[in-house]
């Protein structure tokens, strides 16, 4: 009688594993019998990059070279004004971090 119950348990496990494998093939699920963590749940989601990019309007300034040249000229003139007042960026190797290192 004990062997009959054991055989029944073995058959039941074989049937359930076969059923889960068939279910994964039919419905496209991922079989994970060990239960380890898997990135499949995240990879299954739709990508949202195009949708997010659609929220923002197209920037014309990036394509127009005249606008970019004007912005660069404004940046350089502002930098020149700061340098005349002594507030410009330090030369390479003479900033706060370099001063701490030399002490």
Give the three-class secondary structure for 31. Answer: coil
What is the structure's pLDDT at 58? 84
Query: What distance in Å separates the CA atoms of residue 48 and residue 53, rounded to the nearest whole number?
Result: 9
Q: Give the pLDDT score at 1.
A: 52
- What are the distances in angstroms from CA 21 to CA 7, 27, 32, 40, 51? 21, 10, 10, 17, 36
Per the listing, tokens 């074989």 go with 14
pLDDT at residue 57 in the model: 87
**How would residue 90 be classed by pLDDT, with cut points 50, 70 and 90?**
confident
Reduced to 3 states (helix: H, G, I; strand: E, B; else coil), residue 44 is coil
Residue indicated by tokens 């190797």: 93
Closest CA to 72 of 62, 86, 82: 62
Sorting pLDDT into bands at 50, 70 and 90, what band is 103?
low
The predicted pLDDT at position 84 comes to 95
């Amino acid at each position: 009688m004990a062997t009959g119950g054991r055989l029944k348990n073995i058959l039941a496990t074989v049937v359930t594993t076969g059923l889960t494998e068939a279910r994964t093939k039919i419905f496209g699920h991922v079989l994970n019998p060990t239960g380890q963590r898997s990135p499949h749940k995240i990879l299954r989601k739709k990508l949202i990059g195009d949708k997010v990019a659609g929220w923002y309007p197209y920037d014309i300034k990036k394509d127009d070279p005249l606008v970019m040249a004007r912005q660069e000229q404004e940046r350089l003139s502002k930098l020149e004004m700061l340098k005349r007042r002594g507030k410009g960026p330090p030369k390479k190797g003479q900033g706060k971090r370099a001063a701490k290192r030399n002490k």
